[in-house]
Amino acid sequence: MLIRINKYIADSGITSRRKAEELILQGRVSVNNSVVENLSYRINPERDNVFIDGERIKIKRNVYYLLNKPRGVISSTKDEKNRNTIIDLIKTKEKIFPVGRLDYNTTGILLLTNDGDFSNLLTHPKNKVPKKYEVNLDKELDQKDKSKLLNGILIDKKKGRFTNIKFLNTTDKKLVEVECVEGRNRFVKRMFESLRYQVKKLNRSYFAGLQPDIPVGNYRELSKREVQKIKERYTIEIN
């Protein structure tokens, strides 16, 4: 598969695509010992050798992990208070980061990767990637408030809504499952708080077609097929 030279350089982890373009225009990039100054130039990663200032670069191996996040862990690569982070839970030599975030005490599915395009694909609002959350409320959700949450509520002057709400227990209306495509910070909690409900427990049970199919606190690497299905579903740009 042929890819653009600027993407190849960016995927090596050396610099961004924009900086890679600057290096190309400066004549500092060569392919198979020939200087390349065309930004649309494409290479075959399996056959071509790429150099910057005479030093060969190699594309990094993209990795994709599914973590069933436990409570009491920060969804960040580091924490100034020295609390445990999700990075502490995964053993890898690659420099990974979370795809979106879950609150400190929110549990459930969280993806981590070193692939910036993949992360952007799943977090960009236009792609409307579905998420499902299991919510334990401090009081029963009545039908009137359920309708409001489905029709839309203003949060920071922007309307937010759940695309679906269902009760997880026919006898306890404090336990609900909500579905949404929003990625705003603390979105689920803020939606309920706007109607004077407190979220006692929150678990993300579904994200981009995946479920946390491993014990809490554990992780696994996504298969090539799983990654490809996500890319196909949300049309990732590879050029």
Which residues are known catalytic residues? 103
**Distance between terminal CA atoms of the chain?**
10
DSSP code for 87: G
Q: Are strands 131-137 and 97-98 parallel, antiparallel or unpaired?
A: unpaired
- The b/e string for 185-212 (b: 16+ C-beta within 10 A; e otherwise) is eebbbbbbeeeebebeebbbbbbbeeeb
Q: How far apart are CA 41 and CA 31, in angstroms?
A: 10
Q: Are strands 199-207 and 107-113 parallel, antiparallel or unpaired?
A: parallel
Positive or negative CA dihedral for 45, 50, 56, 58? negative
- In this structure, the dihedral spanned by the alpha carbons of residues 137, 148, 172 and 201, taken in order and rounded to 10 degrees, is -20
How far from 54 is each of 19, 27, 30, 51, 225, CA to CA, in Å? 17, 11, 8, 5, 36
Q: How far apart are CA 192 and CA 173, in angstroms?
A: 14
- In this structure, the dihedral spanned by the alpha carbons of residues 8, 91, 107 and 99, taken in order and rounded to 10 degrees, is -10
